[in-house]
A and B are shown apart, each in its own frame.
Chain A
Amino acid sequence: MSVGIVLVSHSAELAAGTAHLAGQVSGGTVTVVAAGGTDDGGLGTSAAKVERGLREADTGAGVVVLPDLGSAVLTVRAVLEDMPGRRVIMADAPFVEGAVAATVTAAGGGDVAAVAAAAEEARHARKL
């Protein structure tokens, strides 16, 4: 049982592609749910998709949520207010790097705090 990950993006394709990448890099043992786009498939975020994603990703060890841009944060916050009592942390992290770092840390058995910290530390990781 590992921490689940929810990726909230304005783009369904961006969320799905990032979830695929994070799953591949981490070995596929972690539940990574893409919650991207609006309910009618446009660019934006959907409270219904975020809520479904949180339920699907929570296998008992809690969930770390990564928003792609600031306004996704508003959607996640609104959903979390209606879902009290769940172990959910929203991480302030670069989307792709944070998703990969969080998922690998979850695959290694990290708890919600460790997984969220790994995502947030991604901001300091140099690529070059």
Chain B
Amino acid sequence: MPVNSDSGQPSVESQRGITLAGDLHARPAGALAVAASRFASAVSVSAGGRTADARSVLGVMGLGATSGQHVTVTAVGPDAADAVAAIIAILADATKTGG
């Protein structure tokens, strides 16, 4: 039986991966953390066998994710699919330019 949130939407899990086009630096990590906090779902980012809460900018930077590395984004909650899509878009865009 699915868990229902306050919004009445069932809690679901969503997951997608991306291969980074550049290193995951401070500014994209910050953008990712700010974006993750806009969703009700719990979002995590995994790379190289380590996992960080996507809302933790220091945790995301601490992954040390580099160009060419595969990163997995997982969300659990009522808006999991949207959350994963938003985080993947930031990773795709921001790691092209670095910073």
Contact = CB atoms under 8 A, between A and B. Distances in A.
B4 to A, nearest CB: 23
Interface residues of A, number: 21
A105 B37 contact: yes
Contact of B58 (A21, A26, A97, A128): A97
B62 A108 contact: no
Contacts of B30: 24-27, 100, 104, 107
A110 interface: yes
Contacts, number: 53
Given A26-B34, A110-B37, 17 more contacts: A24-B30, A25-B26, A25-B27, A25-B57, A26-B57, A27-B34, A97-B58, A100-B57, A104-B30, A104-B33, A105-B33, A108-B37, A109-B37, A109-B38, A125-B56, A125-B58, A127-B62
Interface of A: 21, 24-27, 97, 100-101, 104-105, 107-110, 118, 121-122, 125-128
